[in-house]
């Protein structure tokens, strides 16, 4: 009996500590991605923002705008209201300068970080609707958001390297 009581008393703080761990670590990953995204945006000369490797694919500018737009989409899938004044559908058309891109990225990553961090453990298994086939939960929405931003970071790194731009963190 004493061993059982010891185990229960020892385990309770551990269970309490783990509450929200997935969300905290995921929010940290979102913040890390923001830092790298902004570093890469800063390294790209203004005259290269509209460069794209071929017709029919996004330019640097369009990929950065897509990331900002998608962060809002994924945050909204977590049940967070869209900030007032953000027109997600038309957002890319408003991002014409590097400063506008940087501001939109910062705002959208903060929105997504807060949405992830404030997701309650008991909502992780809740169903989430996406405009593509499959069944998804709140947890999978967070994972999809993380993989999505990494996918486009890889795309931006490849674009950069083709243009002779070294990502600042690998110099």
User: Chain-wide mean pLDDT for the chain?
Assistant: 91
Given a cut of 70, whether residue 17 has pLDDT beyond it is no
The rounded distance, in Å, linking the Cα atoms of 19 and 166 is: 39
**So what's the pLDDT on residue 4?**
53
Given this structure, which CATH class describes domain 21-170?
mainly alpha
Given a cut of 60, whether residue 105 has pLDDT beyond it is yes
Q: 115 and 23 in contact (C-beta within 8 Å)?
A: no
Tokens of 163: 């243009």
Q: Mean per-residue pLDDT for 87-95?
A: 95
**So what's the pLDDT on residue 109?**
97
Tokens of 81: 């209201």
Burial bucket for residue 89 (CB in 10 Å: 0-12, 13-18, 19+) = exposed
pLDDT band at residue 12 using 50, 70 and 90 as cut-offs: very low
Domain map (residue ranges) of the chain: 21-170
Residue 100 makes CB contacts below 8 A (sequence gap 6+) with: 94
């Amino acid at each position: 009996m004493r061993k059982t009581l010891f185990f229960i008393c020892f385990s309770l703080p551990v269970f309490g500590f783990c509450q929200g761990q997935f969300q905290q670590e995921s929010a940290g990953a979102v913040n890390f991605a923001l830092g790298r995204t902004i570093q890469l945006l800063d390294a790209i000369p203004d005259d290269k923002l509209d460069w794209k490797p071929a017709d029919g694919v996004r330019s640097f500018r369009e990929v950065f705008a897509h990331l900002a737009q998608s962060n809002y989409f994924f945050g909204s899938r977590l049940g967070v209201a869209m900030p007032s004044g953000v027109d997600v559908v038309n957002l890319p058309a408003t991002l014409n300068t590097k400063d506008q891109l940087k501001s939109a990225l910062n705002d959208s990553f903060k929105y997504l970080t807060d949405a992830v961090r404030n997701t309650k453990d008991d909502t992780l298994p809740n169903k989430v609707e996406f405009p593509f086939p499959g069944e998804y939960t709140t947890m999978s929405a967070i994972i999809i958001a993380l993989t999505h931003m990494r996918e486009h970071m890889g795309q931006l790194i490849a674009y950069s390297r083709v243009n002779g731009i070294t990502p600042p963190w690998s110099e």
